[in-house]
Structure 1
Amino acid sequence: MATILHIDSSARSGGSDEHRFGSHSRRLTRTFVDKWRSIRPDDEIIYRDVGINPPKPVTGEWIHAAFTKPEEREPWMNAELEESDRLVDELLRADVIVAGVPMYNFGPPAQFKAYIDNIVRVGRTFGFDRNRQGVPYWPMVPAGKTLVILSARGDYGYGPGERLEDQNHVEPGVRTPFAYLGVTDVHSVAIEYDEFADERLQASIRSAERDVEALVQHLGSGLSKAA
């Protein structure tokens, strides 16, 4: 049995297939999860909505607590890291992380950045030793996890080799910290043309949903073979 960590980060509360002003990224993550359940009904799904219930941003107290050795932490430090610990625990349990991350002003939503800041934890998801030969940092998240980034954009042409590739900080902004932790198997699908609200948007939605369903089939069958 596999575990899927389903994360939504859109500020919109529903999918675009539910109402006019709904979220395209939520629509894609639900498509992913529904398709996954249809072919692997016994797998565990963990749901985390950081768009509606964002994690607390990192503070000076959080940093002080995180960089204090666990055996030396005072009670308030453990309380300060409680939410972060829950998020890290979920990440470590997951085999597949499917994250809905819409483009807000060329990058991920602040809510998702707060999530990333809470899971990049010294001693839990990455190691650090200034006396280590070579690079003093190393990933601590177990190998074999897969990250799926499902996004939505108002404009078009943000993909590799396209006209706005250098302005797309969503996928790179998510891939980089996850790779730092050890998650390097990454797939992405995005809906474009949202601001145009015409047939190009509808075609992009249809194409993205097909790609998501094909990706689920590919990943799900791969896990079955591995098992």
Structure 2
Amino acid sequence: MSRVLIIESSARQQDSVSRQLTQTFIEQWQAAHPADSISVRDLASQPVPHLDGNLLGGWMKPAEQRTDIEQASLERSNLLTDELLADDVLVLAAPMYNFTIPSTLKAWLDHVLRAGVTFKYTATGPQGLLSGKRAYVLTARGGIYAGSSSDHQEPYLRQVMAFIGIHDVTFIHAEGMNLGGDFQAKGLDQANAKLAKVA
């Protein structure tokens, strides 16, 4: 039995293509792996604070020197990190905002990319500690960006995943969502066809 963690980051609850892709993923995964557990963390309805001095203090200060706010910030980061560590499959549902990921997803990443927990520094450079996990990234894009210099979403997320040791990463893009007509239909068809092969 595997544990699947889904991170939603679309600011929209209704008419969100990335959320639509997530629902399709869940249905197909559950059908193929009925014994697996799936949990969803929604960063729109439960946003994670951006990295600040309180979180840095929680990470870096000895327990007896932390303020109550710093301790609470550390505990929130621990919760998110423990959740990631406990799961076998990570699904990031991310619309493209201004050529990259939503700030809510960046904030979540800032909480879970932690030295000594999800990666470590070695004499030969950083080493990820989450080897053996798989990741799927479900994106929705207004235009068509795959492989272009305007795509700062996929390269960034690939680098971040590799940094913490997740090298088995599959991207499923629904592109052309704001172009209308055939572009939108084709983008959804291509994304759904790739999703059908995932489970």
TM-score interval, normalised by the smaller of the two chains: over 0.9
In structure 2, the residue matched to 1:140 is 129
Shift of 1:75: 5.9
Shift of 1:199: 2.1
In structure 2, the residue matched to 1:33 is 26
Q: 2 CA distance for matches of 1:2 and 1:75?
A: 38
> Structure 1: which 5+ residue stretches go unaligned?
15-21, 217-227
RMSD: 1.6
Higher strand share: 2
Residue 123 of structure 1: SS of its match in structure 2?
coil
Shift of 1:73: 5.7
The amino acid across from 1:46 in the alignment is S
Q: 2 CA distance for matches of 1:6 and 1:122?
A: 23
In structure 2, the residue matched to 1:81 is 74
Shift of 1:175: 1.7
Residue 24 of structure 2: SS of its match in structure 1?
helix
Residue 95 of structure 2: SS of its match in structure 1?
coil
In structure 2, the residue matched to 1:175 is 158
In structure 2, the residue matched to 1:210 is 193
In the alignment, does 2:146 pair up with 1:159? yes
The residue correspondences of 1:17-32 to structure 2 (distance < 5 A) are 22-32=15-25
CA contact (8 A) 2:4 2:91 kept: yes
The amino acid across from 1:148 in the alignment is Y
Q: 1 CA distance for matches of 2:42 and 2:8?
A: 5
CA distance 1:2–1:123, change in 2 (3 Å):
same
Residue 101 of structure 1: SS of its match in structure 2?
strand
Instruction: After the TM superposition, list the runs of 4 or more consecutive aligned residues in structure 1 that deviate by more than 6 angstroms.
Output: none
CA contact (8 A) 2:92 2:138 kept: yes
Q: 1 CA distance for matches of 2:46 and 2:155?
A: 24
CA deviation digits over 1:9-41, x for unaligned, max 9? Answer: 000103xxxxxxx11111111111110001111
Give the TM-score normalised by the residue count of structure 2. Answer: 0.93
- How many pairs were matched up? 198
Say which of 94, 105, 130 aligns to 2:98. 105
Give the TM-score normalised by the residue count of structure 1. Answer: 0.82
CA contact (8 A) 2:57 2:66 kept: no
**Percent identity of equivalent pairs:** 33
Q: 2 CA distance for matches of 1:122 and 1:30?
A: 33
> Structure 2: which 5+ residue stretches go unaligned?
none
CA contact (8 A) 2:4 2:39 kept: yes
Q: 2 CA distance for matches of 1:84 and 1:51?
A: 17
Residue 89 of structure 1: SS of its match in structure 2?
helix
CA distance 1:134–1:208, change in 2 (3 Å):
closer
